[in-house]
Structures are given as structure tokens and as C-alpha cells.
Structure 1
Amino acid sequence: MQITAVILAGGRGLRMGGVDKGLVDHQGKPLVAHVLERIQPQVDHVLINANRHLDEYQRFGVPVVTDANDQFEGPLAGMQAGMQHAATDWIVSVPCDSPLLPLDLVSRLKSAVEVAQQLHKQVNTLAIARSQSGTHPVFCLMPRTLCNDLDQFLAQGQRKVSAWQAQHPHIYVSFEDEQAFTNINERQQTSL
């Protein structure tokens, strides 16, 4: 199973006053750099989904892909862009504002999908991370075969990640480290 990671950095950053969150400094480097360092060793390829400051994102040395339109339609639009541009059959999405994401995220999501495929013959199974605080739907391993389905879901005006995921066979993979899913949504958090 070859996997492309899609780092979701295409939002408006409204909770941070409209700044481009992926480029916000955290402990001496942009948030997206932390995420890239943690996810890149886990996958075959990496894409960054961004809709602003494309030149700055391209400096990280991986392809940068934009949403299908300029409406900032949320994480699902970034997942869609990832599906449309990935060269692998599977993608894993991660947000740009979670600099502590698990170092075994992809291997654990992948193992869960492989078990589901063997035991239940579920071809289009999604694997979604969860921890004690709840589910983390944007930390998701998904097959690109669902691309057309996602296109239709977005075309209907739907935007909720978990609502799209609920329409397909999915499994939750539990992670113990609660801090791994900390996302930085406010300026004062960048010093954590």
C-alpha cells in the first residue's frame, strides 16, 4: 500500500485572525514544517494543500496543490485536492496545525485498514484517528477510489468531514497520546 500524505493548510485561519496558519511560527519554524518533518518519513509522497502564499509553501520542497475553487470550503476540499493530485491509491490527511502528530500515525491507520480488508472484505474502508478526547476526522487514511464520491458530496454543498466519512465503511484507531492531536488555533498557543 503506497500512501501520499496531504497536509491541509488551505484554510482561512479565522481563529487566528485570518493568518495563514501553516506559516505561523512555532518554536522557531512554521507549523507546516513541524508537520512535514513528522509525516514525511511515514509515507511515500507528500503534498501540501494551500490556497494562499503558494510560493512560501513551495519552499518546503514538496508539491503544493490548491482547492478546486477559491471558496475555502474546508478540510474536505483539501482532501479532494489530495485525491485528485496523488499518484498513489491511498492518501492520509493531516492538518497543518498539529505539530505533535503521532510518529506511528500512518502505520497504525494502515494496519487497521489491512485488517478490515482481510476480515470483512471492505475495499473502501477509511481509518480515522481517535483519542480520549474524541475522534479526529482530519487524521484519516482513505482510498482514492472515493474521489468521485467526495466530488459529488462537495457539489451538493456538504462540508462536514465526519458526515462524508459516515457514508463509508470506517474504523477508528485509538491513540493513547492525547497531546499528539493538539492543534494550534490561537496565537498564544504557538509558544506551547
Structure 2
Amino acid sequence: MVSAIDRADITGLILAGGRGSRMGGIDKGLQPWRGLPMAQQVLARLQPQVGPMLINANRNLDVYRTWGLPVLSDSPERDFAGPLAGFLAGLEVCTTPYLLTAPCDSPLLPPDLAARLGEALLAERARIALPRAGGRLQPVFCLMEAGLRDDLRAFVASGGSKIDLWTTRHPLAIVDFDDAHAFENINTQADLQRLEQTPSP
């Protein structure tokens, strides 16, 4: 029995398509953190865990393209429509069996995220795997079968926008991680400064 998913079978998707409302409307993915834009910090942690990489963004596309990766925008009718719109943008072009998403504002994500989610997904015969840390699910870090694209497309087209309402429609594996800091996201300038002092897991 296969107990692990080969990293080459997972496409990584950085979600940088939000409005950054709680940070004054700025593009959070491009805010500097420890000398690099936050989304590049996420890229540096996620890329070694997966095969192909994609970026979902709805502005500053030329800047993101300079990083040498495909940049996908939400479809026009779903512009800035939240993480599920980003999931769908990634699934529409994903050529591997699995897609793993990560937000652009969580630069401390675990270095074993893909491996542990993949092991649980296979062991539990699930179609989606999510991490849990500090007693809370972290649904924006989502490993999913690429074969769910049609289902997600229909869910979004019907007006669905909440990740938990979509993920719970499918066999779901949940993986507990000890370090809640690894999943912290930066929503404000105060968060940015505080997380600067947090050691990398």
C-alpha cells in the first residue's frame, strides 16, 4: 500500500489574491518580512515540499510574474471572492493529482506540511486533508484531490464561498500539528512586527 504522496504529484498554490482589508487594502503578499516579500517567504518554505508551483493573485501581476512562476487570477465574476476562488483558479490549471494551497501571509508554515497531510489523506482514504493547530482547523492550508475541480466549480457557481462548507462535503482527514505559530497569518502591521520576533519552526 502506498503510504506517501510523491512531492512531484502535488502542485503548490500560494494564495495572494485577497484585498488585504485589515492591512489598509495593501497587497499583503508583497509586504516585506525578514528581507523578502511575505509571499516569497511562503514560496521558499512550500516549494521544496511539492512539484509545480503556482501563484494566485488579482493585482500586481507583473511583480509576481518576475518570480518565474505561473500567476493565476480569479475569474472575472469571482474577482477577490475569497480563498475558494483561488482554490478553483489553481484546480482549473492543475496537472498533478493533488493541489496544496497556502496563504501568502503565513511565512512560518511547517516544512513537513505536504508530507503529513499526504500521509493522512492516503491512510484515511480521504479526498481532502487539513491541518489543525492550537485546537483550530487551518482550512486555507488545504491538500485536495485535483479531481474535485468540477465539484468546487459547481459549489462556487451556486454561491458557495465558505471553505468549511465545501470541505465537509467530502471525505476529510485532519492532521494535528503541535506548533500553532507555524500557521499564524499576518493581518495587520502589528502582526507583521510581532511575527518578526517569532523563531522559525
Q: State the alpha-carbon separation in 2 of the partners of residues 189 and 61 from structure 1.
A: 29
Identity, % of aligned positions: 47
2:20 maps to what in 1? 13
Q: Deviations over 1:46-77 (max 9, x none)?
A: 10000100000111111111111253110000
Equivalent residue number for residue 129 of structure 1: 131
Q: Partners of 2:35 and 2:120 in 1: how far apart? A: 35
Question: SS at the partner of 1:138?
Answer: coil
State the AA in 2 paired with 1:149.
D
The separation in 2 between residues aligned to 1:32 and 1:179, in whole angstroms, is 17
| Conserved 8 A contact 2:58-2:79 | no
Q: 1:39 aligns with which of 40, 46, 61?
A: 46
SS in 2 for 1:7: strand
Q: Which runs of 4+ in 1 moved over 2 A?
A: none
2:71 corresponding residue in structure 1: 64
Cα deviation code 1:90-132 (max 9, x no counterpart):
1001000000000000000000111123xxxx5xx10001112
Give, in whole Å, the separation in 2 of the partners of 1:145 and 1:87: 10
Paired residues in the alignment total 186
Q: Which amino acid aligns with 1:51?
A: N
Which residue identity is paired with 1:73? A
Asked whether the equivalents of residues 27 and 190 of structure 1 are also in contact (C-alpha less than 8 Å), the reply is no
How many angstroms apart in 1 are the aligned matches of 2:170 and 2:122? 16
CA distance in 1 between partners of 2:79 and 2:72 (Å) = 15
**Conserved in 2, the CA contact under 8 Å of 1:128 and 1:135?**
yes
Q: Spell out the pairing of 1:127-166 with structure 2 (5 A cutoff).
A: 127-166=129-168
TM-score scaled to structure 2, two decimals?
Answer: 0.90
Structure-2 residue corresponding to 1:109: 117
1:186 is the counterpart of 2:193: no
3-state secondary structure, aligned to 2:90: helix
Deviation at residue 189 of structure 1 after TM alignment: 2.0
